[in-house]
Every structure is written in C-alpha cells, then in structure tokens.
Structure 1
C-alpha cells in the first residue's frame, strides 16, 4: 500500500457543451461569490467575451485584470494585490494554460475559490491543481507549485475552443499523448499493479493515447474547417480534462517523467525553445524518454503520426541544438535532479541521459 499517493481528482464541477458557460452564475451563487476578479488574456479575451453573458449580471461586482502572458511569481503577486484591494472573494480565469495555472496559484495564496473557462485545448492545465512557473522573459523557473485547492469549476464551450489556433490544439494532442508514454512503464511495476487509483490512471492514459492516435487527423481537419465534429469535441475534451485525470488519480506515478523533464530543461537552458509551444517540446521529450528506455521500435511506430502532425522529433530538426556543449551538461544535470525521472524502472545515470540525447539526434537524422 502506498503512503505517499495524493489523489486530487480535479475541479469540483465540470461542463463542456454549447451554452455551458451560462451555468457559471449557479456556481458563483453556490460559493456565495459577490466580488469577482476576472483574469484574462488579449486575443482570446476578445473572442470569449461574447460567450460570457454572466458579465451583465448585476448581482456580481467584477474587477478585470489582463495578465502579463506568463505564469510567474510576479504575475501572481499582481493578482494578489488587486484581489486584496478589491476585496475579491472569487477569481475566474479565462484563457489558456499559463493563465489558468496562474489563477490557480494566486487563489491558493489568497485562500479563495476560483473557476476556469479555457479558451483553447493545448494542455490539461485547467484541470490540475498545480502551476508550472516561468519568469517574465519566458524562461522556465524549473519548478512547479503544487497545492491542494482545486478549481470550483471548469466550464467552457466547444464553439469557443474551436475558434483558437490549430497549432495549440496539435500541441495539446502531443502533450496528452505523453501521458501514456511517461506513465506506462512506471505503472507496470509489480509493486504498483494492485493500487486501484493507479490502475484507473493507467486505463485513462491508454484511453487518451488510443483516441489521439485514431482521431487526430480528422479532428485537426475539422478544426481548420471550423466544424464541431464529434472527433474534435472528443479530443479537445480529452486534452484539457480527461488527461488531467491521469495525474489527478495517479499523482507522481502517472503525471509526467522524462518527456516533461526535457521540456522543462529546454525551457530553462535553450532560449530559442521559447518559440515552440509546450506540447511541441513535450513531443520531442516523448522521443527522448523512449530513447532513454531503449524503445526505438516505439519511436518507429510513432514516426508516421509525428510526420502527419508535423511534430518535432529532434533538437536539430527544431534548429535549436546548442552550439555550446556545456548546455547539454546543464540539461543532463537538471533532468537527473528530478525525482519523476527516476521513477522510470531502469537505472538512470547522467551518462544514460547524455548519451540518449546524442543517440536520438543520430537516429532521427538517419530517418531523414
């Protein structure tokens, strides 16, 4: 029996369908909210405003704040200051993953409730009670803030989500695909097989993988045509909700491993990687983890899918391979320092982590 498993399933309330956002006042009433801080972005905010009919409800006092674009400690401090001045008793975040991460962390600091209205499907940030922290210049802090407070609600509308950049959706598919490749080897260990929550996490990660590999091409084409097909709705829901259940049920054993550690290392030590989306860097990270595990056959099976979605497969392909080899050493040191990497059931050494970077570059070059 595990004594370190923390199950944090997800938001207290969830809805995703046309018109779902109109239910928000019911949740605000449930939490006795009156003074509401609404944190938003820029482009997505202009698209979202037409769906937020509750903003006209005079039962609530709204304060508005446009965030800086990063989930940073500075950005959280700004929200805390505004919320305290306006005597806010509830926060709503409207936007993408970094914004919902920021709102969750700020609400944790303030000890007040919050809800999120995602405007795109690019990762499971709206679902999860954790925040990946960045500096204001986009560099990763190299740390994640975990907290126990979960969102009071996650509500959004597929008509809003489909009206977002396709690249973010594709990145979200890759980020969600990683749930399976990062957790499967860990969860297959004998001492974890009898843990019921971990079993459910494993089933959920496989559901994500199977749906993504089967329906992605159709969903992407439908999004480009702005057609709300069953495939698009299914996969967008899997990205920002079902994928969050994997880590929520499985905690550190099913949240992430080497693929996300590589993402974090790239974001910290390769400034040029900031031009790539979170899920795009994680896509490369999946191949990196498979290289660590010596699962080259699985890379081969994924290659057609990656090529179809134009996902990154190597640092050279991304044109961000470090000119200074010392950067590789920094990346290796960083990845080795992460507990989640050492949960993978093989002997992880700095030599293996370093060699896997070089081997993957050569392997992908050979496939070209």
Structure 2
C-alpha cells in the first residue's frame, strides 16, 4: 500500500484576510453559498461585503441549525441546489465546517472553509463527523479530497473566547500520539494510505508547538491580543493538526471522545476538551512512560483542559455507564482498532478509570 499525505489545495492565514475571501475564492466560483450561524453572520458579513465590492462575486447566506447530522445536511443541500450557487463556504466552527464539506460532497461542488475559531482541526480535513439529531456520534463520512481552500483570519480567531482556542489545543494534543500509534501498528490513515515521513514530522511539530507556545497564546487571547504565539497555535490547531491527524491516522483519543458522547453530561463540552481526556486514556492504554504522562497532564492543567471525569461534568461516574462509554469507544468500526495491540471494552474501562485517577493525583500534587 502506498504512503499518502493529503492537504487543502491552498491554506491562507493572516490578519485581516476575511475581507479577501471573495478575491481568493474567485478561482473556484462566483456565487457563494455561505453557511454560518446567525450571530456569526453579524460578525463576518461587514468584512466580506467590503471585499465583495471589488469582485464579480455574489453572496447567499444560510443559517446553520447547530448539528452536523443527516437531516441538517439534507435540508441545506436542497437549499444550495435551489439557490443557483456554485461554491459552498462554511464560516464558523467544526460542525459548520463538516456540514459544508458534506454539502459540497453530495452536490459535487468546491468548498472553502473559514474558521472563526481555532477549536478543532476539522477545517483542513477530508472528513465530516456525522452525529445523530441528538448530538451522539454516528459515523465518519470520508471525503475524496480535502477542502479546496482554507482561509484563517487571525484577527477574528484571536478575538474568540479563550476556551475555544484551548479546546483546539486539546484536539491538536492527540495528533502526535494517535499518529505514533498508527505508525507502530502500520495502520491505514484517514486517506487510505500509510504514514509519510512528512505527516509524522508535522504531527510531532504540532505537539512541540503546543508545548512551546500554548500557555503564552492562552494568556495573550485572554487579554484579546494576537501575538506570534497565538499565530503559531492557530496554525498548530488548524493546519498541523489537520494534516497530522488525517495523514497520520486516528487511534485511541478520538475513539474515547466518541464513547464519551454517550454521557449526556459531556454534551456541554467542546470536542477538543473530550479529546484531551481521550489522549490521557490512550496513554494509559499504552502504559506510556511516567515522564510523558506527566508532561501531557501538566500541559492540560496549565491551559485549562480536562484531566478528570469531574472536569468533563461526570461528577458521579458509575461502572455501568462507563462501560457503555468503553463499549462504544471500542466498537469495531471506530479507531481504537488502530492501536498496536488488542483493545477490549474491559481494557478501555480500566484505562478511563486510571486516567481519571492520574488526573486527580496530579491535581493534588500542585
């Protein structure tokens, strides 16, 4: 099997780039179908309209209803076809991105992704995560190509709430460890090939950037400023993690995230917050060295990522419910099968409790 790496055709990141959206998008289409939230539209439309006047493009806005599920994708697909537009643009967070990518896939249209937050690595991937109408993980929709373009306005992203940037760090935190597990097991990555040297290096660079700049970036965003550290973390959360996870592969951390969606208490948390705890669970499954575990937990605590079940809102975990989480995480179609050893619901259950205990232990040490 070939080694394969995938990426967007073009990645654009810089301050004030939102006003250049139409200029950049013109090579793909002139009638933009812009999917965003109601509140998001109010924040981005002025800049887009400013740039629109300098092009031949038109913009048609539709409101995303909050869940990347089959019913919402079908609704928006029909609206897109009726609109006469020729380019899908998803502006907002991860579920808007995944929905926009799915619409583009089903209508055979180009797609531009514009993150307004750096909370996940969804923007660059050839993947949509599909949930039920109630928000429970359903399946991955693997797409034939990455987005045609990803455009990141760092002025916009740096003004978003700090928790969203930190959630992105949680998602990015898993990238190296999952790629490493896939490399060890010789697993197939998300684009149907084996891991390239470049993908593995990008995954490691993602982790190293988090350790080097994560705390500095969090402090800057807390004070509503965009520093070099913020720029680096936005790139790590969005591009390095996006290429790293997709071309490196998914393993334990994201499967644990999917299992945690069975607990209603966790629905209030962001994707990356649950993935961060999933990373701790994966490290427990691997019996990772204590120094590595401590480094990851220290990072999580420093930036404000969950390290215990209580942090996830699960105040009174019971064995039956946690076994449901473990069983869902270890489902045959999920990515725990990419670990370099056999994983069962019982071993996942034990690793969840061990990760929770480790998180509580290090909190007491501080």
TM-score, length-normalised on structure 1? 0.89
Q: Aligned partners of 1:260, 1:117: CA distance in 2, in Å?
A: 23
2:205 matched to which residue of 1? 207
Larger mean Cα displacement after TM superposition, 159-168 or 85-94: 85-94
- Classify the secondary structure of the residue corresponding to 2:35: strand
Q: Aligned partners of 1:191, 1:46: CA distance in 2, in Å?
A: 44
2:251 matched to which residue of 1? 257
Larger mean Cα displacement after TM superposition, 304-313 or 104-113: 304-313
2:313 matched to which residue of 1? 319
* Structure 2 residue 231 is matched with structure 1 residue 233: yes
Say whether the 8 Å CA contact 1:187–1:198 is kept in structure 2.
no
The CA deviation at 1:280 is 0.6
Q: Aligned partners of 2:258, 2:186: CA distance in 1, in Å?
A: 29
Cα 1:317–1:232 change in 2 (3 A) is closer
2:267 matched to which residue of 1? 274
The CA deviation at 1:281 is 0.5
- Classify the secondary structure of the residue corresponding to 1:11: coil
Alignment equivalent of 1:13, drawn from 7, 10, 16: 10
Say whether the 8 Å CA contact 2:203–2:245 is kept in structure 1.
no
Alignment equivalent of 1:154, drawn from 140, 150, 157: 150
2:214 matched to which residue of 1? 216
CA RMSD in angstroms comes to: 2.3
* Structure 2 residue 137 is matched with structure 1 residue 140: yes
Cα 1:164–1:87 change in 2 (3 A) is same
The CA deviation at 1:118 is 1.0
2:65 matched to which residue of 1? 68
The CA deviation at 1:70 is 1.5
Say whether the 8 Å CA contact 2:101–2:111 is kept in structure 1.
yes
* Structure 2 residue 121 is matched with structure 1 residue 124: yes
1:178 matched to which residue of 2? 174
1:336 matched to which residue of 2? 330
Kindly report which structure 2 residues correspond to 1:185-200, keeping only aligned pairs within 5 A, or say none: 185-188=181-184, 197-200=195-198
Q: Aligned partners of 2:313, 2:25: CA distance in 1, in Å?
A: 47
TM-score, length-normalised on structure 2? 0.90
Give per-residue Cα distances to partners, 1:181-220, cap 9 Å, x unaligned: 222133246899xx98522111111101111011111111
Say whether the 8 Å CA contact 2:307–2:360 is kept in structure 1.
no
Q: Aligned partners of 2:236, 2:317: CA distance in 1, in Å?
A: 38
The CA deviation at 1:334 is 1.7
Give per-residue Cα distances to partners, 1:67-93, cap 9 Å, x unaligned: 001211111111111111112211111
Unaligned runs of 5+ in 1: none
Say whether the 8 Å CA contact 1:108–1:149 is kept in structure 2.
no
Cα 1:85–1:160 change in 2 (3 A) is same
Cα 1:365–1:117 change in 2 (3 A) is closer
Cα 1:214–1:79 change in 2 (3 A) is same
The CA deviation at 1:324 is 4.8
Give per-residue Cα distances to partners, 1:279-323, cap 9 Å, x unaligned: 110111111001111125122222322221121112134331565
Unaligned runs of 5+ in 2: none
The CA deviation at 1:261 is 0.5
Cα 1:256–1:22 change in 2 (3 A) is same
